[in-house]
Amino acid sequence: MSFALEIRNLKKAFGGLEVTRDVSLTVAAGARHALIGPNGAGKSTLVNLITGVLKPSGGEILLGGSGIGNLSQAERVKRGLARTFQINSLFPTMTVAENVALAMVAHDGADARVLGNISRDPALAARIEEHLLRLNLSDTADRPVSNLSYGQQRIVEVALALALRPNVLLLDEPAAGLAAKDVEMLLDLLKGLPDTVSVLIIEHDMDLVFRFAQTITVLVDGRVLLTGTPEEVRKDQRVRDVYLGRRHG
């Protein structure tokens, strides 16, 4: 039984600066796994390494048991890996429906189809509608993303990744900048994810982390400090020291 995502001895250095030092991590199938750590711990770098934006200086990355180190970003996505960005990376001048359509069409492998009118595809329209409904974005379908509130845009960010029907979902600080009620909505959304999706979430919002995650890895200075259940992490003295008594990031 292989892990949904496995990282073995991953290293990344920028010149002399070591950002990721010998990180090993496993995300089990269907896991709800959180990655926490103080600023500068190298969490975003790790996500960039997994998705292929950065090339590692050493170590391996395995998706569903097979190495993906040589694959391009697009190829990794095709293998079932999806991510969201800490700072929204959407298609701002395009409507919400178009944003979702892009992801769905890409997932279908039909993005290069030159024949056929995209607005006359009832199956696609229904899928988009259903997707938006589940994410409470129904009445924003024909609005350009740039017209949406920040909270709604963060949800669209997640919507894009989910539309790819990923096996492994990497969420990079999805709650960043969200108001409390939007965080609640996000949490509901995450809790509603099917077991077929394994989730690795990076977050500073400790409340969200402890309410959602079943496994937590703590990253400090590019190294894994500890991996354990929420209880184990909460009680660990070293973790407390690192956070100096702060409970919310």
Partner 1 sequence: MRKPENTIGTSFPEMRSALRTHRFGWFEIVMLVVFVAVYYLLPGYLPLATQVAIMIIFAISLDLALGYGGIETLGHAVFYGIGGYAAGLYALHVWQEPISGLLVAAIAAGIFGIVSGVVVLRAKGLTLVMLTLACATMVHEFANSMRAVTGGDDGLSGYRIDPIFGLFRFDLFGRTAYIYSVCILVVVFLIARVVANSNFGLTARGIRSNAQRMQLLGVPVLNRLVLLYAISGALAGIAGALSAQVTKLVGLNTLAFTLSGNVLIVLILGGIGRLYGAVIGSIVFVVLSDRAAAIDPFNWLFILGGLIVLTVWLAPDGIAGRFSALTQQLLGRERKS
Tell me which residue of 70, 69, 41 sits closest to 239, measured CA to CA: 41
Cβ proximity to partner 1: between 12 and 83 the closer is 83
- β 223-228/215-220 pair status: antiparallel
Cβ proximity to partner 1: between 36 and 200 the closer is 200
- β 168-172/198-202 pair status: parallel
Beta carbon of residue 75, minimum distance to partner 1 (angstroms, whole number):
8
Cβ proximity to partner 1: between 106 and 226 the closer is 106
**What is the rounded distance in angstroms from the CA atom of residue 37 to the CA atom of residue 191?**
22
Longest Cα separation, the chain: 61
Beta carbon of residue 117, minimum distance to partner 1 (angstroms, whole number):
5
Beta carbon of residue 214, minimum distance to partner 1 (angstroms, whole number):
26
Positions in the binding site for partner 1 (CB under 8 A)? 51, 72-75, 77-78, 82-83, 89-98, 101-103, 105-107, 110-120, 122-123, 125-126, 128-130, 132-133, 138-143, 160, 164
Beta carbon of residue 210, minimum distance to partner 1 (angstroms, whole number):
29
User: Cβ of 1: how many Cβ atoms within 10 Å?
Assistant: 5
- Helical H segments across 11-147, by residue range: 43-51, 73-78, 96-107, 122-134
Task: Report the amino acid identity of residue 166.
Answer: P
Beta carbon of residue 151, minimum distance to partner 1 (angstroms, whole number):
16
Cβ proximity to partner 1: between 91 and 210 the closer is 91
Cβ proximity to partner 1: between 76 and 216 the closer is 76
